[in-house]
Amino acid sequence: MKLIDLLYPKRCPLCGEVTSEKIGYYPLCEKCNIKQKENRINYSGDGFFCVYKYNGKLRDAVLKYKYEGEIWLAEPFACMIINYIEQNYGFDSFDILAFVPVNDKRLSTRGYDQVYEIAKIISKKKKIRVEKFLKKKENYGDNAVDRKDRRQRISEDKYYFAGDKNLIYNKRVLLLDDIVTTGATLRDCKALLIENGARNVCTAVIASGRKDL
């Protein structure tokens, strides 16, 4: 056992119980793993990886991560996504990671970009480079549920490409976000990556708030 694990034991993101990377259902503890089975979303084969339904304790954990500074949750969330993709698809098909960013204003008040933190951990664990290809314009909330006047804004472009086109040219991209609601953000961001040279783009999120999944 590494010293760091003694000082900072790995904890289940849903209940806080000490857990271990050695167990098959990591990052969850056994109890939460059993409970979460009914919330798991089966992979449908279309290049969209979504681990769970967005409800209950998982939803609480995502909100703590996004709004209460519980940044340690980035690692278990990254592990959830990694495990899901490994079980359903494999990582060999990706050359580079991209992520849906928060805007600069949000970044400066919060101090971290929640999806970038997850992307950095996936990058390190799977040895795939992560790039800041996308930027979000000011005046947009994090996701559809945060935005009250969504209908007014929906026709405008919220994101733009701000990366190096040489780095994305002909690449197989895995685009990350935290949760999906309408799917519009992922669709828009995926289109931007394709327009700017990506060969193909798969998408991955922790959870979906869509009712039809």
- Report the interface residues with Zn ion, using CB under 5 A: 12, 14-15, 17, 29, 32
Of 12 and 74, CB closest to Zn ion: 12
For residue 206, the number of C-alpha atoms closer than 13 Å in the C-beta half-sphere is: 30
Of 8 and 90, CB closest to Zn ion: 8
Of 33 and 203, CB closest to Zn ion: 33
What's the CA gap between 132 and 101, in Å, rounded? 8
Strands (E), the chain: 48-53, 96-99, 129-130, 134-136, 159-161, 172-176, 179-180, 200-208
Tokens of residue 56, six digits: 């209950």
Of 63 and 191, CB closest to Zn ion: 63
Question: What's the angle, vertex CA 25, arms to CA 24 and CA 30, rounded to 5?
Answer: 115
Tokens of residue 165, six digits: 């086109």
Q: Give least dist CB 58 to Zn ion, A.
A: 11
| 8 Å CB contact between 130 and 96 | yes
Q: Give least dist CB 29 to Zn ion, A.
A: 3
CA dihedral 167, 171, 174, 175 (to 10 degrees): 50
Q: Give least dist CB 26 to Zn ion, A.
A: 11
Q: Give least dist CB 82 to Zn ion, A.
A: 18
Q: Give least dist CB 69 to Zn ion, A.
A: 21
Of 17 and 188, CB closest to Zn ion: 17
How many residues are recorded in the chain?
A: 213
What's the CA gap between 15 and 21, in Å, rounded? 16
Q: Give least dist CB 27 to Zn ion, A.
A: 9
Of 28 and 168, CB closest to Zn ion: 28
